[in-house]
Structure 1
Amino acid sequence: MTVDDRFSRDFQEAQKDRPLGTRNEIITGPVADWATDFSHAEPEWAADPYPIQDELRQSCPIAHTERFGGAWLPTRYEDVAAIAYDTEHFSSRAIIMSNFRPPKELAPVGGVPPISSDPPFHHHARKLLLPAFTKNAVAKREEATRAFCHALIDAMEGKEVVDAAHDYAQHIPMRVIADMLGFPAEDGPSFRGFIESALEGVNLPPEERLARTEQLFDYLLAQIRDHVDHPRDDLTTYLINAELGGRKLEPSHVAGTMALLLIAGIDTTWSAIGASLWHLAKTPADRRRLAGEPGLLPTAMEELLRAYAPVTMARLVKQDMHWNGVDMKSDDWILLSFPAANRDPAQFDRAGEVVIDREVNRHAAFGLGIHRCVGSHLARMELRVALEVWLERIPDFTLADPAAVTWATGQVRGPRTLPLRIVWP
């Protein structure tokens, strides 16, 4: 059997035989009480979740909902950290909370390893990716990233109002991830569609979600076949040839990891860049200070990551248990809100403020525990370079219309429209 046969036939058979999982019905609609009926898919959560999280942290630190078939939302840093580190009682086989649960048979690998993997498989799957995301490997991508950021701003030059989310922030991680995986740069619009289906379509019928997922994997299989025919020095060719325990990776493992890198590697950084520009546009003092003190940017960047952490992850309860005052059932969802943990006053001084020269900042924007983001060095480089280039070229900008800013719903939150009024130097 050729390598191409191995990927196309084996993966398609695996997808065809995979059980759909447990379905739950409608999860969206007005929230009656955030402590007992929360939903992160509602527009008010997307627009501004922080007051909701602050209130829950004080009155009901572990909220519950019957939506999603039963789910919990811890809002204190200590609870979020405890669950993130506890792989004995909580499974990562599904990390996007939606209206159906993948079957338990997916563990310990999950659909998008290593983020969906449980121990002991997780350790080996994660270790495979580490060489591509070291500081030295990431540093080699900085020059091209910087040049691309300048090119994006060149295309905006002279415009009075620009959409910094649509015309700048989203394109930077799209280009970086496409280059890493060896995908055509012009496929960026397709990436956006895959991201929105995976992260914002959580209330679509499971059959439709599965159909959209199949579109993503059809794309990935086409890329795999091209790499089999034309091997090159990129992450896709590396995964095709990689081995675990002396055996080539399963086709579903290769495609699942590529899907993870494509979706998570783009949306998280896109959101972080956009949220940072949004803050600077509405906070002139911080914008002027960073434009005048570029050496402060690495410190300020960590604070922006803390204050506007884009990522919330999900876990599934492995078995019925009493945990920290609540009775959790097997297969209850746990929504790990790293944004809520990052604004816990018990963990951070002036937690609700953005302090751009905050020196001690052990935030959880990149997660906690064994699933801490493997691409954190890459994300930091992209965010730093994106802000450095923007502030160098466009030091003076404000929100053109605060009411026109829109935010993504779901577990990765960032601006999707961000109209900024530009004063060109």
Structure 2
Amino acid sequence: MTVDDRFSQDFREERGDRPLGIRNEIVTGPVADWATDFSHLEPEWAADPYPIQDDLRQRCPIAHTDRFGGGWLPTRYEDVAGIAYDTDRFSSRSVIMSNFRPPRDLAPIGAAPPISSDPPFHRDARKLLLPAFTKTAVGRREQATREFCHSLIDELEGRPVVDAARDYAQHIPVRVIADMLGFPPEDGPQFREFVENTLEGVNLPPEERIPRLDQLFDYLYVQIRDHVDNPRDDLTTYLINAELYGHRLEASHVAGTMSLLLIAGIDTTWSAIGASLWHLAKTPADRERLVAEPALLPTAVEELLRVYAPVTMARLVKDDMNWRGVDMKADDWVLLSFPAANRDPAQFDRAGKVVIDREENRHAAFGLGIHRCVGSHLARMELRVALEVWLERLPVFGLDDPSAVTWAAGQVRGPRTLPLRIG
């Protein structure tokens, strides 16, 4: 099969013969009791999930819900880690908890390898990506990232109030990922729409959600075909030509991995940058110290990642079982809340407090186990550079209206609007 043959079929046709999986009714609305009826899509969770998680950790460390067809929410570090490392009993074939489950025959590859892959396929799919995300490879992108951050600040100069989420944080990972994949930088608004459809549209009926996801894959196939016709030195061309087990990657594998890089590579870093600026805006002592001691920033970045970890990942229970005292059923969801794990007092001293000079910090912001984020070096670089440039250019800032800050709902939490007063 030639490269052109692999990408001659429309992705929707390729998926068309697959069942949608187990479908569930839409369940939204106020939560009666977070221990027995949790929902990560409710506004109070988006606004401030930490008191809810702290309460659950004390009285019901593994919460349950009947929503989404049934699911579990562990809040202790040891339970989150236990599930993350247990690939025998928990599957990653879907990492986004929604109102339908993909069919079991998607395993072990999944729709977005390697994040959706189970062993043994996962290891080999992940190895394909490692060269693009080494410290050395990421280091080559730092100067361009820094220059782009400065250009964004240039556009903000003279404005007394700026939206640091919309006008700064979201643009940085969009540009970095577009450069890595060889996508047109002017397509950034489409990327943000893809992110929202994928991560914040999980409660839509499948007949609405699937077409929205198809828009993403339609776009990816246009880019893939362009790279087939015009190869260049980027990650898309690399994936098109990559081999696994002696064969070129399937078209669905290439597109699925690109969707992972586009969605996860943008929203997680966008959220981390925004949450960090939100913290510094409301905590003058930390902001002033980092302005005075810029060498402390790499240490502070780790602490900001711990306390405001943006990502929660899902797993699916493989078979009926009793797990640490709770009766889990096959195809139950499990939400691995890395933010809750990072605030567990049994794991971290002063767990709920931001300590920007914390020296020992084995946080789980990038996940645990075999699915630990392959792009962690890239995310750290983007977050550090974004904060360095902001603090250098705009060292005095605060929240303009704390009540105007809004946060994304779902499994990646970060500010969506963040009005800051400059000076």
Question: TM above 0.5, one fold?
Answer: yes
The equivalent of 2:323 in structure 1 is 323
Which whole-Å CA distance do the structure 2 matches of 1:421 and 1:5 have between them? 54
Residue of structure 1 in register with 2:217 after alignment? 217
1:17 deviates by: 1.4
Residue 198 of structure 1 contacts residue 213 of structure 1 at CA under 8 Å; is this kept in 2? yes
- 2:177 alignment partner AA: I
Cα pair 2:240 2:254 within 8 Å, conserved: yes
Report the Cα offset of residue 27 of structure 1: 2.4
Deviation at 1:19, TM superposition (A): 1.3
Give the counterpart letter for 1:215 in structure 2: Q
Look up the match of 1:381. 381
Q: How far apart, CA to CA, are the structure 2 residues paired with 1:267 and 1:9?
A: 29
Q: CA deviation at 1:7?
A: 1.2
Q: Secondary structure at the match of 1:9?
A: coil
Whole-angstrom distance in 2 between the partners of 1:22 and 1:12: 19
Name the SS for the 1:358 alignment partner. Answer: coil
8 Å contact from structure 1 (residues 315, 336) kept in 2: yes
Length-normalised TM-score, structure 2: 0.99
Percentage of matched positions with identical amino acids: 83
In the alignment, what sits opposite 1:180? 180
How many residues were matched structurally? 423
Partner residue, 2:301: 301
Structure 1 Cα separation of the partners of residues 28 and 254 of structure 2: 33
Task: Supply the distance in 2 between the matched residues of 1:2 and 1:64 (Cα, whole angstroms).
Answer: 49
Distance 1:122 1:214 in 2: 24
The residue aligned with 2:57 is 57
User: Matched residue of 1:186: which SS?
Assistant: helix
8 Å Cα contact 1:342/1:363 also seen in 2: yes
| Amino acid corresponding to residue 155 of structure 2 in structure 1 | A
Kept after mapping to 1: 8 A contact 2:11/2:217:
no
Question: How big is the shift at 1:10?
Answer: 6.9
Runs of 4 or more, structure 1, over 6 Å off, are: none
Match of 1:193 in 2: 193
Query: C-alpha displacement at 1:8, in angstroms?
Result: 3.0
Q: Contact (CA 8 Å) 2:12, 2:214: kept in 1 or not?
A: no
What secondary structure is seen at the aligned counterpart in 1 of 2:315? strand
Cα-to-partner distance string for 1:14-39 (whole Å, 9 max, x where unaligned): 21112111111112110000000000
CA contact (8 A) 1:95 1:116 kept: yes
Quote the Cα distance in structure 2 between the aligned partners of 1:291 and 1:363: 24
SS of match in other structure, 2:118: coil
Report the equivalent of 1:113.
113
* 1:68 match: 68
Q: Which residue in 2 is equivalent to 1:26?
A: 26
Q: Which residue matches 1:235? A: 235
Report the secondary structure of 2:73's partner residue. strand
Cα deviations by residue, 1:362-386 (Å, 9 ceiling, x for unpaired):
0000000000000000000000000
1:82 matched residue in structure 2? 82
- Partner residue, 1:310: 310
Letter in 2 for 1:377: H
- Secondary structure of the residue that 2:379 maps to in structure 1? helix
Q: Is the 8 A contact 1:10 1:251 kept in 2?
A: no
1:337 Cα offset (Å) = 0.1
Q: Deviations over 1:206-245 (max 9, x none)?
A: 0111101110000000000000010000000000000001
Partners of 1:346 and 1:352 in 2: CA distance: 12
| Matches of 1:26 and 1:62, distance apart in 2 | 23
1:279 equivalent in structure 2: 279
Cα distance in 2, alignment partners of residues 11 and 417 from structure 1: 34
User: What residue identity is the alignment partner of 1:130?
Assistant: L
Could you tell me which residue of structure 2 aligns to residue 407 of structure 1?
A: 407
Q: Distance in 1 between the 2:386 and 2:92 partners?
A: 32
For the residue of structure 1 that corresponds to 2:159, the secondary structure is coil
| Preserved contact between residue 109 and residue 118 of structure 2 (Cα < 8 Å) | yes
SS at match of 2:64: strand
The amino acid across from 2:329 in the alignment is K
Deviation at 1:354, TM superposition (A): 0.5
Q: Are 2:139 and 1:139 equivalent residues in the alignment?
A: yes
Q: Which residue of 2 aligns with 1:292?
A: 292
CA offset digits 1:108-130 (Å, max 9, x no partner) = 00000000000000000000000
Give secondary structure in 2 for the equivalent of 1:330.
coil
Structure 2 equivalent of residue 35 of structure 1: 35
Q: Confirm or deny: 8 A CA contact 1:8 1:221 kept in the other structure.
A: no
Structure 1 unaligned blocks of 5 or more: none
Aligned counterpart, 1:158? 158
Q: Describe the SS at the equivalent of 2:420.
A: strand
Q: Distance in 2 between matches of 1:157 and 1:234?
A: 33
Question: CA-atom RMSD, angstroms?
Answer: 0.8
Unaligned runs of 5+ in 2: none
Q: Partner letter of residue 183 of structure 2?
A: F
Q: Could you tell me how far apart the structure 2 residues matched to 1:31 and 1:247 are?
A: 49
Partner letter of residue 386 of structure 1?
A: A
1:8 aligned counterpart, secondary structure? coil
1:24/1:69 contact within 8 Å kept: yes
TM-score, length of structure 1 as denominator length: 0.99
Distance apart, 1:2 and its partner CA: 4.6
Letter in 1 for 2:224: I
